[in-house]
Structure 1
Amino acid sequence: MTIAEFRAMPADHLSGLLLALWWDAKGDWNRAHEIAQDVQGRDAAWVHAYLHRKEGDLGNAAYWYRQAGRAVAKDDIAAEWERIAAELLSRQ
């Protein structure tokens, strides 16, 4: 699935971290954060880190990047969203 197809997909076809990213792309950061908080693991920590980075809470984001085992992202926030989405989609 491409990023464009993912963005166009209805929410009821998604779950977990992809659903969190989908809501974030639709402008609902709070819903995305609620979903990400309920998922465990390194990928969840990565999504959580991205969300806090987007929010501007860089200290909290740094904690979640460490939990994810990833370097703190420094590129454009939209590029990071696409990178996370592409990696998660590649595992479907």
Structure 2
Amino acid sequence: MKTLAEFKASLTSTQPASGLPPQLKALWYDGKGDWNQAHAQVDHLTDRSSAWVHAYLHRKEGDIWNADYWYRQARQTRPDVSLDEEWEQLVVEFLED
């Protein structure tokens, strides 16, 4: 899977593609509307990439204080874009890694 379009198309599947890193797996579950499963993918991880996804998930949840904590851990700033735009930006970022 190399493009945002391919990633979005994979959301019709019942399971994420094998071999996805936890950050993309979290975004896949979030794209399917399963916030809890998305959160479970990154909640226990401490790397900056996981913190960035974790921040997005808490922003989506409406827990801005917690989101801002995770944005700081990721060395990112809370973006001034829609949640859908941030989700797409994250997917593209991690597909390029």
How far is the alpha carbon of 1:40 from its aligned partner? 2.7
* Alignment correspondent of 2:7: 6
> Paired residue for 2:49, among 40, 43, 47?
43
How far is the alpha carbon of 1:4 from its aligned partner? 1.5
Secondary structure, aligned partner of 1:74 = coil
Distance of 2:17 and 2:93 partners within structure 1: 21
Q: Which runs of 5+ in 1 are unaligned?
A: none
Q: Percent identity between the aligned chains? A: 49
Deviations 1:8-37 (A, max 9, x none): 234142341111000000000000000011
Q: How many residues align?
A: 91
Structure 2 length-normalised TM? 0.87
In the alignment, does 2:87 pair up with 1:81?
A: yes
Q: Which has the higher helix share?
A: 1
Distance of 1:19 and 1:37 partners within structure 2: 12
* Alignment correspondent of 1:69: 75
Aligned residue identity for 1:73: P
Secondary structure, aligned partner of 1:75 = coil
Alignment RMSD (CA, Å): 1.2
* Alignment correspondent of 2:66: 60
Distance of 1:25 and 1:31 partners within structure 2: 11
Distance of 1:38 and 1:17 partners within structure 2: 12
Distance of 1:20 and 1:53 partners within structure 2: 14
Structure 1 length-normalised TM? 0.92
